[in-house]
Amino acid sequence: MTTLLPTSGVQLIEVAPELAGQRIDNFLVTRLKGVPKTLIYRILRKGEVRVNKGRIKPEYKLQVGDIVRLPPLRLPERDEPVPLAQGLLQRLENSIIHEDKALIVINKPAGIAVHGGSGLNYGVIEAFRQLRPDAKELELVHRLDRDTSGLLMIAKKRSMLRHLHEALRGDGVDKRYMALVRGHWESSVKQVRAPLQKSNLRSGERMVEVDEEGKEALTLFRVLRRFGEFATLVEARPITGRTHQIRVHALHAGHQIAGDTKYGDETFSKEIRDLGGKRLFLHAYALNVPLPEGGVLKLEAPVDEMWAKTVERLGA
């Protein structure tokens, strides 16, 4: 069920002096609070928004006295989620590698956030609430960075969520990642133990750095494959679960991860991009999870085609 905006029907708005010079798209974002930006740009593109009875482009700058015509808009009810693209929903449905009555585990594609926020209307959890409308208790068990791919757990029941959170606080869950890093990683470097501290830049961007005042953090590393002196494929097993832990610990060891725009080496990342690797090369590939009824769920997730082809070209 949908409802009309309170000011439903066609609206005609005269531009006041204080709004002169503002772009029409920014004006609409402010005026139509709650309306997805995709819808705003669609009605602009289709010519449904008019200024002085004429079509305009998103970059048009308003003038004093302009008459802006807004079409009737239909929005979801407050409790009704914004419908997501079928292509995205199908992609996430296809990413499921395990599902039972209490747990879903997916191989999350790189580039998809785990939840909405920071300008995003949706993430994995919002998508699965639409894919599984009967599962009323769906919650993320843990998180992956937006650009990290791999195994992500979603609890379908509160009891499973509590069980897994307890297991994560202890050492019951074994998570392993693959990372393609710059340079020759010495086999003798088997762990990085360095405390991590979060900080926010003036832009609002969150960064993490090694700081003695930070929280204890430990990552175990193992060499999987070398590509001469140029790059190394390593396994990373985070024993603690700090934000950006593997990325910052790899940097601390002197081996930035390919495609890392926050902590990486741009020259190295560009060379990997030139091989077709246009992503962050960090992938949660293996997971061992204790089950409430006993036993262990063991899962592995393959890398995507871009990763596989890039590594193949590196090897050649």
What is the set of active-site residues?
145
Other Cβ atoms less than 10 A from the Cβ of 238: the count is 17
Q: Are 167 and 155 in contact (CB under 8 A)?
A: no
* The two structure tokens encoding residue 27: 């004006």
Q: Are 25 and 33 in contact (CB under 8 A)?
A: no
**Helix ranges (DSSP H) in the chain:** 24-31, 37-45, 86-94, 124-131, 158-169, 245-252, 266-274, 305-315
Cα dihedral 26, 32, 38, 43, rounded to 10, equals: -90
In total, the chain counts a number of residues equal to: 316
Q: Token pair 């961007």 is at which residue?
A: 205
Q: What angle do the packed helices 86-94 and 124-131 form, to 10 degrees? A: 90
In DSSP terms, 206 is beta-bridged to 200
